[in-house]
Amino acid sequence: MKKGILWVLLSWLIVAAFVLASCGEAVPGEQEEEEEEEEEEEGLKEVSRDRTLILIWSGTEGRYVDHELWNPFSIGSNHQNGPGIFYEPLYYYSAFADEEIPWLAESYEYNSDNTELTYHLRPDVTWSDGVPFTAEDVAYTLNTLVDLGPAVRWGVDVEQFVDEAVVVNPLTVKIKFNVPAPKFHHFISYKYDIGVYMVPKHIFEGQDWTVFGHFDIAEGWPVTTSPWRLALSTPEQKVIDRVESPDEWWASKTGFADLPKVERIIYLPWVGETQTAEAVIKNEADASLDLRPHTISMCMEDNPNLISHTFHEPPYGYVDWWPISLIVNCEHDHFDNKDVRWALSYFMDRDELIDVAYGGAGTASLLPWPSYPSLDPFTEAISDLLEDYPTNEYNPGKGEKLLTDAGYTKDSEGFWVDAAGSRIRLEMLGWAIFEDIGPIISAQFRNHGIDASYASPPDASDRMDRGDFDGCLRGHGGSVAGDPYFTFRMYQSATLAVPGGHMINYYRWHNDEFDRLVDEMAITSMAEPATLKELTHDVMEIWLEELPDIQVVEWYHRIPMNTTYWTNWPTEDNMYVNGAFWHLTFGMILNELEPAQ
Amino acid sequence: MKLDYIAKRFGIFLLVIWLALTVIFFLPRFSTQNPIREKMNQEMLRGGYVQVGMEQMIEEYESKFGLNKPLWEQYGTYLSDMGRLDFGYSIAHYPKTVKSMLSEGLPWSIGLLGMTTLIAFGVGSLLGALLAWRRAPQVLRYLFPPLLVLSAVPFYLLGLVLIFFLAFENSWFPLFGGYSPGTVTDWLSISFWGNVLHHSFLPALSMILAGIGLWALTMRGMMVTVQGEDYMTMAEAKGLKGSTLFFRYALRNSILPQVTSLVLALGHVVGGAVLVEVVFGYPGIGTTLYHAIREFDYFVIQGIILIVIVAIALGTFLLDVAYPLLDPRITYRRA
Amino acid sequence: MNRRILAAMRYTRRNPALAVGIGLLLAILLFWGIGSIFVPFSRTSALSVPASRAPSWEFPLGTDRQGRDLLAVMIAGTSLTLRIGLIAGFIGIFIGTILGFVSAYYRGAVDTIIRGSVDVLLTVPSLLVMILVAVALKGGLTVEGMALVVSILAWVWPTRTIRAQVLTMRESGYIRVAQLSGMSSPEIIVKEMMPNLLPYLAASLVNAVAAAILASIGLEALGLGPMESPTLGMTIYWVLHYSALLHGMWWWWAPPIIIIVILFVGLFLLSTGLDELANPRVRRSV
């Protein structure tokens, strides 16, 4: 029998050994790795922590799947995950500063009827392998996009306007349009997440853009004009190093700009809110994707070095270009009646929503475009209309009156029914990011007699696209500057001004006069603000009366920024650009960051 | 006769695989979801911008992936691809291939879950056998109730509790992941292994604790039955030592059904791991599969499930063939 | 009457599992029963009470981030989750019994098909199939929908065990006698076999219910459940979604876990106890 006991003890010993082994060889203390580990690896040079920018961003379930994809036009790639800084633009645009910043191009001009756009490129710009950047690259990029069309990102956007791009001389490229395109320059400039990347012709020519990875560190791929070189890219992390000397980057070489102070950027995959919060509190990361208001305020309490766009005050972030609205399917029963839509708007208590969901750290959204400086004049221009049509007012009395006037009554359970006895049933769809506000809106509606519910089914996007929904929560990715045309475009049911340019009309709302007016805006240049304001007023007269969708809240990016190692982040005091480092404007932030130590 | 039997078993093996493949092919396609549309919408969600011409892009990629062909044609291509083990490209992560996704996740799943299943099986069966053995130390009886309780708890909830106490409140173990973010996977480095073991401790612990009780219970049941058999009384009467009786007679005769369950369990290691991997953020095949299902990424789903089914079916087949060797009482005459 | 009670109590000493199991489940039912009298169901809706409050006299289990009274949610969730388990469990046993009987009694081709399907389906990881189905369904699920999804594979294991039992019973003496005396097969099944099978069916039912609850909680925790229903699994989902752990909202994540543990341990002990009742040969004091 003793042998039996021995066996038992032995098995427990094995388990104990396992336990001890893991404890003993564990990484000391810290939950996450620093580059102390990295310096042991071969090939990566040593860069101290105070010259490294560590970002927690993206990935799937804690690792990257696109680490070998550095060609931003392939639909599997995402410029937000790193490739964005490798491809410099012709122009940057900053929505906050309302400034255009010439970059690879020095200037541009349109011809008189907006059918030709000419860019004058900056001389002395070279790719990282020594080949000069010329008009050939720009022309090649645009022409290939026209050829490939729907097979690649931005293909159709470019294809519908551009006829061909012609090299006039190595520093001048002329783009010929097949319809007047006064907004094309604005479109291809880098702003937020929109912009067209310029790729090196000598590398991309002959490759299949849909699968080409442009990834080979030994060869020095991805080839770039920027001061960034890819050092390591694995599922666990992406390490991007800056060039050593100012001569290796055209901007610092010619004195146009200084070399960024950041010497290394490390992208670490996003694992979860809890883990990211831990990391920023412990100064193991410098910035990350948005955190919730409750979380970011807690982090800032624990670590005062952390700041947000609004420092330590609510709303802890800046307004994103994506105002949220509740879209109701205007082709369905009940929702085809504008009075019902307005009633829904009056039933929604946005203040309560922001209070509960965001702890008060948020703002309601007045219109389907964000409250940005260059769009504010348009909001001003329609202030008279907003008095008659208050899109943010919470007034159940008004809502009830609208419904009763339209023939609705309340049934025995307190829900509104029409003359035929059919209830206003509002099943709202959304994605996981709206789960903070969806159930609350649903509860508010139910309290006012609308039979509402909220769900985020896996096929939400599919159903939204096909119009198989009663209501859904979405954000508007429309205009950020210049004029509200890009926002209005989303509500058109058809367009003649931009052939093939029809977008999905989620609202299923049709109004011919509206379509006509917006088409007029399409061909009006941004240099005619008075006309644009007038058109906006006319357009909004229709839109506000009809209210195709109900405005909810503005979308904030509450990005934690750690000042322990880096300062001069974009904040409300220093709004040089939007602070989201995953946007195409990240290059601008990198040029501005100053080391704190 | 033996060959006959093996051939029949092999035939069933192939049949099972074919049936499973067919179900896996049709099931996701019965929902009217369009994976490419989902993919496009995901991209849109990231940047907030709906691509103009999204409909055209969707059409383009549908034809690229052959999704616009009639269902029967797709099925035929699918079967021939599976036969050649050509899993193709992932839709959601194009142009990543399914094989690369598999090779990235498989070692983790097999490593963690295979190990924990084996450990739970070993310790649990031994414990269960001892519990049924009259002459085992009494102190073990006291272990039984808590183990029972633990085995009744869903292991991912147990995991959550463990995370809270051991990783959050006390920082002894990492909150998440297979290894610390930012490390380089260098399988030759001792410190990397240490890091991996450190990260795998909590998921392993919760699975082992939850699993031990179950193995112990079934083993105990078997042992009780075996102990009542005549040959045991005979062996005792012969005066054999306690440990000989325990190991060479009782244990050996009870182990067979346990091993069958073990084979099934090992096969399930991949599929059943989804919740563990989600709770602990372990970078294995389970989460890959879960995301693929949510994204309707047909090709990844098909590839992973094929591997799972083949593993299980192969295991069962080998076991079926080996059974007569292990237990001479079992013969296979035609029924 | 007294003697029966005494006999029952003496039995529980030999079969503590049964007693403890029943006790735990009764406790849960009491919690739900009494609770639902005092705490209105309306408090399980969002915005019904102030949000993010720690436990107090007014809200003994505090409130969550969307303004739900967590005590109400626990009470409602227990009953909803149990309901899912019971519906799926009964469906599983019902189908499983029919298939098991038919397969074992009639043998032949029918048996091969049923047994083959069971074997194949056992190899497929059940959670994955359920995820596939849940994801393929249109729109969000309701509680009843959840029960149906879970019941899709709930019959597989019962079929197997019941078939095994019937196979054994089929060869026994009294069945032969019944056959010889001219009883028709359905009569034999119902009058002779069923009564002897009841303890097994009961044990299988308990197991099926437990498995169904486990599956439903798993699906809900992954986010595939009925979003507006305050089931226990959905509470776990919200806990994970809002990082309740990070914010120290222990009153949010601890109660559902405790209730789930009690529920499962209770069901498990009940099942073990019924096993012993059904199979005296396994009787053994622990």
Model confidence band, residue B102 (pLDDT cutoffs 50, 70, 90): confident
A414: left (phi over 0), alpha (psi -120 to 50) or beta: left
- Mutate one of A3, A37, A237 to test the B interface: name it (highest B CB count within 10 A): A37
DSSP state of A149: G
Query: Given CB atoms, is A214 within the 8 Å cutoff of chain B?
Result: no
Q: How far is C247 from chain B (nearest CA, A)?
A: 11
- Mutate one of C117, C132, C224 to test the B interface: name it (highest B CB count within 10 A): C132
What pLDDT sits at residue A472? Answer: 92
Number of neighbouring beta carbons within 10 Å of residue B45: 18
Q: What average pLDDT does the segment B100-110 reach?
A: 81
d(CA A568, CA A272): 27
Residue with tokens 């006829």: A163
Query: Given CB atoms, is C132 within the 8 Å cutoff of chain A?
Result: no
Percentage of residues of chain B with pLDDT beyond 70: 85
d(CA A248, CA A244): 7
Q: How far is CA C185 from CA A296, C199, C201, in A?
A: 70, 22, 20
Q: Which of B88, B103, B89, B179 is nearest to A69 (CA)?
A: B89
Q: How far from chain centre, in Å, is Cα A296?
A: 20
Residue C45 tokens, joined: 């809706």
Cα angle value B2/B8/B9 (rounded, 5°): 90
Q: What average pLDDT does the segment C5-17 reach?
A: 76
Are B154 and C218 in contact (CB < 8 Å)?
A: yes
- Paired strand residues for C183: none
Q: How far from chain centre, in Å, is Cα A243?
A: 28
Residues shown for chain A:
597
What pLDDT sits at residue A578? Answer: 78
Domain residue spans in chain C?
16-278
Residues shown for chain C:
286
Query: What would the pLDDT profile of A470-503 be if each residue is shown by its tens digit?
Result: 999 998 878 877 888 888 888 888 776 666 656 7
Query: Given CB atoms, is A24 within the 8 Å cutoff of chain B?
Result: yes
Q: Which amino acid is at B21?
A: L
Q: How far is B211 from chain C (nearest CA, A)?
A: 14
CA dihedral A382, A388, A392, A397 (to 10 degrees): 180
What pLDDT sits at residue A397? Answer: 93
What pLDDT sits at residue B271? Answer: 55
Q: How far is B194 from chain C (nearest CA, A)?
A: 27
Q: How far is A134 from chain B (nearest CA, A)?
A: 28
Report yes or no: A253 and A246 within 8 Å, Cβ to Cβ: yes
Query: What would the pLDDT profile of B305-328 be if each residue is shown by its tens digit?
Result: 888 777 777 777 777 777 666 666
Query: Given CB atoms, is C45 within the 8 Å cutoff of chain A?
Result: yes
- pLDDT at position A30 over 50: no
Q: How far is A437 from chain C (nearest CA, A)?
A: 9
Residue A550 contacts by C-beta under 8 Å, 6 or more apart in sequence?
A325, A326, A327, A328, A341, A344, A345, A348, A391
Lowest mean pLDDT of A37-46, B66-75, B146-155, name the range.
Answer: A37-46
B42 CB-side CA count, 13 A:
22
Q: Which of A485, A524, A516, A519 is nearest to A378 (CA)?
A: A485
Are C284 and B154 in contact (CB < 8 Å)?
A: no
Query: What would the pLDDT profile of A241-281 be if each residue is shown by its tens digit?
Result: 999 888 889 988 888 888 999 999 999 888 778 778 888 88
Number of DSSP helices (H) and strands (E) in chain A, helices first: 20, 24
- Mutate one of B34, B49, B169 to test the A interface: name it (highest A CB count within 10 A): B49
- pLDDT at position A230 over 50: yes
Q: Which amino acid is at B249?
A: Y
B230 CB-side CA count, 13 A:
0
> Which chain A positions have a beta carbon within 8 Å of C46's beta carbon?
439-440, 442-443
> Which chain A positions have a beta carbon within 8 Å of C48's beta carbon?
443
Say which of C116, C272, C284 has its CB closest to residue B224.
C284
Q: What Rg do the C-alpha atoms of chain A give, in angstroms?
A: 27
Q: Which of A307, A385, A252, A371 is nearest to A573 (CA)?
A: A307
Query: What would the pLDDT profile of B36-55 be if each residue is shown by its tens digit?
Result: 887 777 777 776 566 677 78
Strands A264-268 vs A52-56: parallel, antiparallel or unpaired? parallel
Thinking of the domain C16-278, which architecture would CATH place it in?
Orthogonal Bundle (1.10)
A170 vs B19, which has greater pLDDT? Answer: A170
Strands A318-319 vs A594-595: parallel, antiparallel or unpaired? unpaired
B331 vs A362, which has greater pLDDT? Answer: A362
Give contacts of B 282-311 with C, CB under 8 A: 289-290, 293-294, 296, 301, 305, 308-309
Are A294 and C67 in contact (CB < 8 Å)?
A: no
Give contacts of A 243-302 with C, CB under 8 A: 272-274, 277, 292, 294-295, 298
Chains that touch C (3 or more CB pairs under 8 A): A, B
DSSP state of C280: G
Model confidence band, residue A328 (pLDDT cutoffs 50, 70, 90): very high
Q: Which of A518, A358, A319, A76 is nearest to B48 (CA)?
A: A319
Residue C37 contacts by C-beta under 8 Å, 6 or more apart in sequence?
none
DSSP state of A223: P
Q: Which amino acid is at B156?
A: Y
Chains that touch B (3 or more CB pairs under 8 A): A, C
H/E stretch holding C232:
helix C232-241
Are C120 and B152 in contact (CB < 8 Å)?
A: no
What pLDDT sits at residue A493? Answer: 83
Q: Which of A215, A197, A184 is nearest to A584 (CA)?
A: A197
- Paired strand residues for A409: A417
pTM: 0.83
| Residue C284 dihedral angles phi and psi, to the nearest 5° | -160, 130
Number of neighbouring beta carbons within 10 Å of residue C156: 22
Query: What would the pLDDT profile of C105-114 be if each residue is shown by its tens digit?
Result: 777 888 888 8
What pLDDT sits at residue C174? Answer: 74
- pLDDT at position B129 over 50: yes
Cβ density class A351-389: b for 16+ within 10 Å, e for less: eebbbbbbbebbbbbbbbbbebebbeebbebbeebbeeb
What pLDDT sits at residue A450? Answer: 92
Lowest mean pLDDT of A341-350, A392-401, A440-449, B180-189, name the range.
Answer: B180-189
Query: What would the pLDDT profile of C19-76 be if each residue is shown by its tens digit?
Result: 888 899 999 999 999 988 888 888 888 888 888 888 988 888 999 999 999 999 999 9
Cα angle value A532/A533/A534 (rounded, 5°): 90
d(CA B53, CA C23): 63
C132 CB-side CA count, 13 A:
23
Q: Which of B76, B101, B73 is nearest to B87 (CA)?
A: B101
